[in-house]
Structure 1
């Protein structure tokens, strides 16, 4: 009879049991563990397309001798459908996190690619290979401008413009004053081929930016992407625009004919007429570096009857184009930017009819030295209720006095007008009975000490007022006797 009690036998048996945390020993135990892992993987990935579990019939030689602990872990997301996993990814607000998730596996890469709607292309071969459309099938906004110029990837010289940035060649100073050589811009035939591949794979495009595209590329893009609404064209000549008439829903267009230091193409009255006849539903149009005259602007005004916003930037137009603005019957906002002159020969005043529906005029970084051109501009825009002038050189008291013709002015914003004084400002503002909002910033010659009681009285009745002509202005010396900043009087806050 054994001396061991039943309680001792039970304790010994419990001590010999192995837990899942303890290592297995022996050939039989290792083989059993492998079978368990195989069964778990088969149950975890019943319908996975990217991860194929091993079957029991596979030879042992194909099984790694030292499997990674991570490779043995089951993928819990494999049990989720693609639709459910996409809804989870849609909750991610940061795009960087979405791109990081695409590196997890092929399935996540494909699902995350469906959520990317906007992209800026840097490698043209990525487009030509078809991987762009395959990787991002739901693109809405595509900018292929940077990839249209060959550049050195390791260059430390970056040319940045409003629309794109490109790294420059080390021999940039040898290009006859141009930052980009002509041979560095991809030929039109290659651009057309890439646009065809893109339009075939991404038919839901709403916005696109192109450079040096030809008539064939525009025609094919219009045929495949019928919902395209916004387009930006660079370095396109007159006759390349013949393919633009097929865009039935195009509403916003930016046409850049010449970009100083980068490229120079010719967009004249011929191109503007082709554009006007082909895009009759335009709401916004920007002409940058374009040549033209009265005829081109007239064609746009007569054909594009829905045009509400027109931007003229760095124009090289002939004299007399201002008088053609009166044909834009529904134009509400006119922007003139980066122009060395407004109109060097606007013609007689009796030929300058006003735009009937025009509400706002924006002048930004223009040279306003020539009084005759500026005066003609205000005659055409005399129906406006808002005027914005930013960093325009040459706007002195005499030239600003031409704005007195705009009797219905309600909003005035002056910024960076270094030649304008308080007397010039007063001579115009006192004639505007409907003025409600005023902004004066960085106009160094406008002094607080020159503010008269009449002008201060106008200030006190404004609904919105921002006064910061210089860093030392306190708006106090000229307010004596007006009741402002006194007990019981009106006060206004300096922003």
Structure 2
């Protein structure tokens, strides 16, 4: 009996040869792309040939448009600009790479810019590339820093590269700063190229440079001056519509400049329409703050950052009769010798008092501050040093408080918190975060009753919340959650 050779098993997936149908299914998308590209090239070539010969006049049929390489060329600049303006800002960089036309149109959508290269401004290319700017920041472009340096110096006000040969008195020495005459020239060029400027951030400018901006940009409303001096402030009066002003005089470790009572008086007489004012690293005294309060009668918000005010300046705040918000940021002290209470006065319209990263170790200073701010409705403590129960008790003089926020106040205890907030009959919002000496287990029935009457409560005094375990269903202790009148707290705590 003869045996025939064994036939290969074609049903096995490992031995079956690939068929054209399988290849077609697997690579259908790739083939479609190739065919579409070939078809598009053929039609484009045919269209180009037809345009070389004279054709009778035709009206453009949008139902059957002639195929072109760039369909967006059929749209006007205004229509394409409107379409691109609806796209998210995250796509702007990629959109500008499509073509030169898209690059130019995309540049018309840019309204805010931080300058990095000073020559880009002086040459005029800035206005060709971005013709509709209303907010320009010149700080980084004003500092001559080595781009290839591995040392990046960062501050909340500026960020720059430096080399290892920096001067011990400051990281930003005079040799790294663009000279004043070049800064003034750049401001003149900027003012002529951006007549609709609304906000400007300047570094190391002079009086003449500010005057050139004021003459060409009457719509400017917000100005930020770095390395500002008293003499520079002489050009402030020319800004007739200025409403927001930020002055940076001295920055520890970076640079130093002087803004004193002379500059504050010039500012007060020239900027009578100011609504918001921030003084960072500025010196001064009672006279300068009084001049601002008397002349800037529209001032509603005052911020003092790392101030170097002389003793007794705090009583001058009472001259700001329309002040609504008072902020202290990174201040080493408030006022070490504020004087007697009868000379302090108070701000009748003040609504918000914010203290952030401040050293509040002087009880007399803190007490005088709350005396001046006794009409306040909101009090915010955030990462302030030295605030204990005795210091916090000074806030009990403020009887109209509706909102209290404590964050990073590690010395305040549960009893200290209770003794103050129970005296505030209008309190309806409370926020307590990262205050390790405020304990859940120390919450009394009286305090829990107050909690149940609040409209908003955010309670996370530490990371080991025991109250969250004993109050199921309330959501207490969950990160970032607000609560609305939990009615069962008193009964649960009493149990």
Pair 1:409–1:91, CA change in 2 (3 A): closer
Secondary structure of 1:107's counterpart equals helix
Tell me the alpha carbon deviations over residues 157-212 of structure 1, each in whole angstroms, 9 at most, x when there is no partner.
2222223321122324xx11422222101111111100110110011111111111
- 1:85 is aligned, of 51, 61, 80, to 80
Tell me the alpha carbon deviations over residues 287-322 of structure 1, each in whole angstroms, 9 at most, x when there is no partner.
000000001111111111011110011000100110
| Structure 2 partner of 1:474 | 466
Counterpart Cα distance in 1 of 2:325 and 2:403 = 14
- 2:158 is aligned, of 164, 179, 192, to 164
| Structure 2 partner of 1:150 | 144
Counterpart Cα distance in 1 of 2:364 and 2:259 = 27
Secondary structure of 1:449's counterpart equals helix
Q: Offset at 1:427?
A: 1.5
Pair 1:428–1:99, CA change in 2 (3 A): same
Counterpart Cα distance in 1 of 2:233 and 2:246 = 13
Counterpart Cα distance in 2 of 1:286 and 1:37 = 63
Q: Offset at 1:73?
A: 6.7
Task: Spell out the pairing of 1:446-457 with structure 2 (5 A cutoff).
Answer: 446-457=438-449
Task: Spell out the pairing of 1:296-311 with structure 2 (5 A cutoff).
Answer: 296-311=288-303
Q: Offset at 1:408?
A: 1.1
Q: Offset at 1:92?
A: 2.0
Counterpart Cα distance in 2 of 1:317 and 1:158 = 31
Q: Offset at 1:475?
A: 2.4
**Aligned: 1:40 with 2:51:** yes
Pair 1:411–1:105, CA change in 2 (3 A): same
- Provide TM-score, normalisation by structure 2: 0.81
**Aligned: 1:129 with 2:123:** yes
| Structure 1 partner of 2:372 | 380
Q: Is the Cα–Cα contact under 8 Å of residues 452 and 478 in structure 1 kept in the other structure?
A: no
**Aligned: 1:215 with 2:207:** yes
| Structure 2 partner of 1:181 | 173
Pair 1:77–1:43, CA change in 2 (3 A): farther
Secondary structure of 2:406's counterpart equals strand
Pair 1:109–1:402, CA change in 2 (3 A): same
**Aligned: 1:251 with 2:243:** yes
| Structure 2 partner of 1:368 | 360
Q: Is the Cα–Cα contact under 8 Å of residues 95 and 103 in structure 2 kept in the other structure?
A: yes
Tell me the alpha carbon deviations over residues 237-296 of structure 1, each in whole angstroms, 9 at most, x when there is no partner.
101111110111111111110111111110000111111111111111100000000011
**Aligned: 1:119 with 2:113:** yes
- Provide TM-score, normalisation by structure 1: 0.81
| Structure 2 partner of 1:490 | 488
Counterpart Cα distance in 2 of 1:489 and 1:91 = 47
**Aligned: 1:401 with 2:393:** yes
Name structure 1 gaps, 5 residues minimum: 1-20, 23-32, 47-71
Q: Is the Cα–Cα contact under 8 Å of residues 236 and 257 in structure 1 kept in the other structure?
A: yes
- 4+ aligned runs moved over 6 Å, structure 1: 33-36, 41-44, 476-479
Q: Offset at 1:91?
A: 2.3
Counterpart Cα distance in 1 of 2:52 and 2:435 = 74
Counterpart Cα distance in 1 of 2:123 and 2:380 = 47
Counterpart Cα distance in 2 of 1:411 and 1:350 = 28
Give the aligned CA root-mean-square deviation in angstroms.
2.6
Counterpart Cα distance in 1 of 2:333 and 2:217 = 39
Q: Offset at 1:227?
A: 0.6
Counterpart Cα distance in 2 of 1:170 and 1:40 = 64
